[in-house]
Amino acid sequence: MNTPIKNYADTFSKELNLTQGIYKYIFYFISFMIIMVVIPRMLDNSFQLTLALMLYILFIFIGSLVLILFVIKKLIMTWGDSKKTYIAVGFSSAIVFGIYILSEYLLRHYPIFIFWSPNQTTNFIIGIILLLLTMAICLLLKKKYFAGLILILSLPNIISRIFTGGDYSNKNFLIISSIVLTIISLSFIAYIVVQYYRDKKSIDNN
């Protein structure tokens, strides 16, 4: 019987043999992850080029993604498609999320050294330019999913800026961005749940 974990394992094992162009895709992936960290911060005016941000991107964000992918691979190879795998994946993801939250706090309160601190207007203009440039590149590479993802992540801050003219330190800005983010998150969860049951029903019928 096919399940999401089994399908992932089958796909993963096939892709292990496809080494051609792997470094190019790794470069794309890491570049996109960095862009996802930088652009939203610029749009809410919390961006500062600091030593802490560089370490955050290098050791926490990218490191945690590589770690979680490695852990998932090992779990699938060890336990296969079982409840243990699902539980372990969820537990590992929760730990990584906790590290991410802690790192966010440390990053905002302990920058270590500030190389560049742009003002609100500069942050917003550069953020919009980077957003449009990133989306254009994703569309040229036929990666519509990534173009949509970076737009969705940026929408709460863009909408909040339009309605308040403030930044992350503004109470109304935070309220509006939180509402928009909650709506987007609930919509995404609903889509995943509906898609999961559709796929499950299709698999069961086959």
User: The domain containing residue 129 runs over which residues?
Assistant: 4-162
Give 176's contacts (C-beta < 8 A, 6+ positions apart). 156, 159, 160, 163, 164
Round to whole Å and give the CA distance between 47 and 81. 42
Whether 180 is covered by a domain: the verdict is: no
More confident residue, 50 or 77: 50
Whether 23 is covered by a domain: the verdict is: yes
Whether 119 is covered by a domain: the verdict is: yes
Whether 177 is covered by a domain: the verdict is: no
- Top-confidence range, 12-21, 77-86, 168-177: 168-177
For the chain, what is the domain count? 1
Whether 205 is covered by a domain: the verdict is: no
What is the pLDDT averaged over residues 26-33?
74
pLDDT value at position 4?
53
Q: What is the pTM of this model?
A: 0.68
Is the pLDDT at 27 greater than 80? The verdict is no
Return the number of other C-beta atoms located less than 10 Å from residue 173's C-beta: 22
Whether 190 is covered by a domain: the verdict is: no
Round to whole Å and give the CA distance between 70 and 21. 20
